[in-house]
C-alpha cells in the first residue's frame, strides 16, 4: 500500500507541475514551440527511469485455489535509441535493466515457510519497438508503441540442482515477450519528456518443474508466463 501511495503521489506531482505547461502549449493562441526540429533527426538517444509491476499467468492441470500470485513494485532503468522512419513512424531499441518481485502463496501447504516463495527477478531487457505518433499539437504529441522483446533473467535459478523442496523456485533464463503501450511526448525548452505506460506479455513457458511430479509447488502447473506493467519516464 505504501508503494502504491508513493506512485500516486509522484504521478500527481508530475501532472500538477506539467498542467500549466501543457495548457499553455496546447491551448494558447500562439504557443512557444520548443525543439521544433527535434524529431527530424534521423537518429537520437535518451534514457528512461520507471516502475514495474510483474505478475504471472498460470495454467493448471486442474482448477484449484492452490496458488496465489502477489505482485510487487519494482524499478526500470535503461537507454533509448530512436531511428526516424517517417513523420509518424519510428523504430526504437530500449535496452534496460528491470528488477521485480512476485510472491507465490500456496495456501494448501501448512508450513508458513514452504507456503511462500519470493520470486525475485533481475532482467536484462531488450525490446525492439515500432512507435506510431500522431500529429504534433503545440508541444504535445501522443503516440502508440508496440513490438517484441527478449529477456535474460539473471535470477532465474535455471542451473540450480535444487528445487522447491530446498526453497528454490526455478524459471527459464531466456524469455520472449510482446509489448503494447501508449505515451505522450512533451517538448520542453532543452529536452523532450516522454511518460508512457506499457503492458508486457510473455510468450513462452518459463516454468522449470520440480523433480517430484506431485510437487505441492509445481505439480499442478502446466504453464507459467510473465505479465507486467511498465510505467516509464523517458528523457531525450
What tens digit of pLDDT does each residue of 94-119 get? 999 999 999 999 999 999 999 999 99
What tens digit of pLDDT does each residue of 57-85 get? 999 998 888 899 999 999 999 999 999 99
pLDDT value, residue 48: 97
DSSP annotation string for 51-107: EEEEEEEEEESS--S--EEEE-EEEEEEEEEEEE-SSSEEEEE--EEEEEEEEEE-T
Euclidean distance between CA atoms 210 and 208, whole angstroms: 7
pLDDT value, residue 17: 55
CA dihedral 191, 49, 21, 30 (to 10 degrees): 40
Check whether 173 has a pLDDT greater than 70.
Answer: yes
pLDDT value, residue 64: 83
Euclidean distance between CA atoms 233 and 213, whole angstroms: 44
Binning pLDDT at 50, 70 and 90, where does residue 23 land?
low
Binning pLDDT at 50, 70 and 90, where does residue 22 land?
low
Q: pTM of this prediction?
A: 0.83
Euclidean distance between CA atoms 108 and 114, whole angstroms: 10
Which residues face 206 on adjacent strands?
none
Amino acid at each position: 500500500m505504501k508503494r502504491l501511495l508513493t506512485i500516486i503521489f509522484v504521478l500527481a506531482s508530475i501532472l500538477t507541475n506539467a498542467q500549466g505547461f501543457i495548457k499553455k502549449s496546447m491551448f494558447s493562441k500562439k504557443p512557444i514551440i520548443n525543439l521544433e526540429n527535434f524529431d527530424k533527426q534521423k537518429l537520437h538517444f535518451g534514457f528512461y527511469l520507471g516502475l514495474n509491476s510483474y505478475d504471472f499467468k498460470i495454467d493448471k492441470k486442474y482448477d484449484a485455489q492452490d496458488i496465489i500470485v502477489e505482485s510487487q513494485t519494482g524499478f526500470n532503468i535503461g537507454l533509448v535509441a530512436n531511428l526516424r522512419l517517417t513523420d509518424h513512424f519510428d523504430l526504437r531499441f530500449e535496452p534496460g535493466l528491470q528488477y521485480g518481485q512476485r510472491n507465490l502463496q500456496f495456501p494448501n501447504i501448512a508450513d508458513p515457510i514452504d507456503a511462500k516463495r519470493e520470486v525475485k527477478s533481475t532482467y536484462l531487457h531488450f525490446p525492439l519497438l515500432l512507435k506510431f505518433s500522431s500529429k504534433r499539437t503545440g508541444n504535445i504529441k501522443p503516440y502508440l508503441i508496440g513490438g517484441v522483446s527478449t529477456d535474460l533473467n539473471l535470477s532465474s535459478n535455471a542451473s540450480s540442482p535444487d528445487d522447491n523442496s530446498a526453497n528454490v523456485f526455478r524459471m527459464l533464463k531466456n524469455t520472449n515477450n510482446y509489448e503494447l503501450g501508449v505515451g505522450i511526448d512533451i517538448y520542453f525548452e532543452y529536452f523532450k519528456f516522454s511518460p508512457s505506460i506499457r503492458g508486457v506479455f510473455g510468450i513462452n513457458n518459463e516454468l522449470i518443474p520440480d523433480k517430484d511430479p506431485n510437487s505441492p509447488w509445481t505439480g499442478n502447473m502446466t504453464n507459467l508466463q510473465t505479465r507486467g506493467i511498465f510505467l516509464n519516464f523517458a528523457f531525450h
